[in-house]
Copies of this chain bind each other. A is one copy, B any other.
Amino acid sequence: MLDKKKVVLAYSGGLDTSVATMWLKEQGYEVITMTADVGQQVDLEAAKQKALKSGASKAYVMDLKQEFVKEFVWPALKANAMYQGTYPLNSALSRPLIAKVMAMVAKKENAGAVAHGCTGKGQDQVRIEVCTNALNPELDVLAPVRDWHFSREAEMEYAQAHDIPVMATTASPYSIDENIWGRSIECGILEDPWNEPPADAYTLTVDPWNAPDHQEFVEITFEKGIPVALNGEAMDGPSLIQTLNEQAGKHGVGRIDMVEDRLVGFKSREVYECPAAMTLIAAHKALETLTLDKKVLASKKELEVKYAELTYEGYWYSPLKEAIDSFVDTTQEYVNGVVKVRFYKGQAVVRGMKSPNSIYQQNLATYSEGDAFDHAAAVGFIKIWGLPVKTWKQVHKDKMPVEIFC
């Protein structure tokens, strides 16, 4: 029997989840916090202490960077996953991991509930709750911040009254979520789509005009769709991403500014910075054009759209995601090679690629000697290719009339 008054809370170390810890405790719950290190800038030991001070009976702090990259980031990269073609899902990808780890801790601790600090209009509440449903339908999911309707001021007062440490600094105008795959930024000024994002919203990337005045190159080696080396040097996933985040970020690469359709029915202006993600997706896509068949590329693109939607909408643990992964993995067998990328003033541009599995055949493509293409075949091909429109016009003689305008 699960203990329904024991709850595992995803704890960030910020005001919301600290207050939530105490608040849940006051509701009669034993609260166990779980703080995930997915590559964000946070003092984990301090977070642990703060959790305990905020009323947690136990505070887990877990380094999940390897799991995050291996089980979430790389599969998404293989699928070139970008929601609405633009957002590399940096925040969305961490939610199923957090839900999974909460479910694991709950199992270990025999807790009957998990909790998160999301509000009622974001996507993250959907992701964490739906993923938890999918992982262990018996777990209750609590959302104290959504339920209590505290204003910022009321939260502060509550915190002070309960001895929860509050940062002395004035509140940042930005609401941030960060991990190794990128950084999501929301703030009031962005709510008017005519406004440019403020320069100080960014921490991983410089403004392009502050980037170095010279171009810089990196060669990225892929094996079965996954990057394994930079400039020939093998690296594990988190290190490779970290290295690229720094290099690309220094050149101002990876800023995204979009109006995005939320699952909960409205449009939202969002700003992201994802230097490594944007570089790797561009390189990966390019390598696929060299190594994958035209029909595979076309069908994969359609599934990539679905993959990104499933991730965005909380369906990471779902039978469709499982089936698309099988499709994608079958194609990635062939995505091996090296891609040369140039960084300069805000742009990452693919400047060359080579692959042992290249199906680009120079002897077919060339216009020089050695041309292996059968030019005569084109005549028959075009005759048959054009037959349907020829027939159409023979039947519909009056359609698409040709008027003389000369």
Binding site for B on A (CB under 8 A): 60, 62, 67, 84-85, 100-101, 103-105, 107-108, 119-121, 125-126, 129-130, 133-137, 143, 146, 149, 175, 186, 188, 191-196, 208-209, 213-215, 257-261, 263-269, 286, 289-290, 292-303, 305-306, 310, 313-315, 317-320, 322-331, 334, 340, 344-347, 349-354, 357-362, 364-368, 371, 373-396, 400, 402-406
Contact = CB atoms under 8 A, between A and B. Distances in A.
A268 B365 contact: yes
Contacts of A208: 344-345, 347
A15 to B, nearest CB: 15
Nearest to A192: B362
Contact of A267 (B137, B360, B390): B360
Nearest to A259: B289
A149 to B, nearest CB: 8
B135 A402 contact: yes
A389 B137 CA distance: 9
B361 A267 contact: yes
Contacts of A403: 104
Contact of A62 (B297, B310, B367, B406): B406
B376 A290 contact: no
A269 B350 CA distance: 13
Across chains A and B, which 10 residue pairs bring their CB atoms closest together, nearest first? A380-B380, A120-B375, A265-B387, A377-B380, A261-B294, A130-B386, A345-B345, A133-B390, A134-B389, A266-B364
B364 A391 contact: yes
Nearest to A137: B390
Nearest to A151: B369
Given A84-B289, A353-B194, A392-B293, A375 B119 contact: yes
A334 B396 contact: yes
A270 to B, nearest CB: 10
Given A290-B193, A378-B120, A406-B60, A265 B385 contact: yes
A18 B101 CA distance: 52
21 contacts: A104-B403, A104-B404, A104-B406, A120-B375, A121-B373, A129-B382, A134-B392, A134-B400, A137-B393, A146-B379, A191-B368, A194-B353, A257-B351, A266-B361, A266-B373, A268-B360, A302-B302, A319-B331, A326-B327, A361-B391, A381-B384
Contacts of A314: 385-386
B266 A385 contact: no
A295 B315 contact: yes
B322 A381 contact: no
Contacts of A268: 360, 365
A36 to B, nearest CB: 10
A399 B349 CA distance: 33
Nearest to A331: B323
B365 A191 contact: yes
Given A84-B297, A133-B393, A340-B194, A382 B188 contact: no
Given A85-B301, A103-B402, A267-B365, 5 more contacts: A104-B405, A105-B406, A125-B382, A260-B289, A359-B392
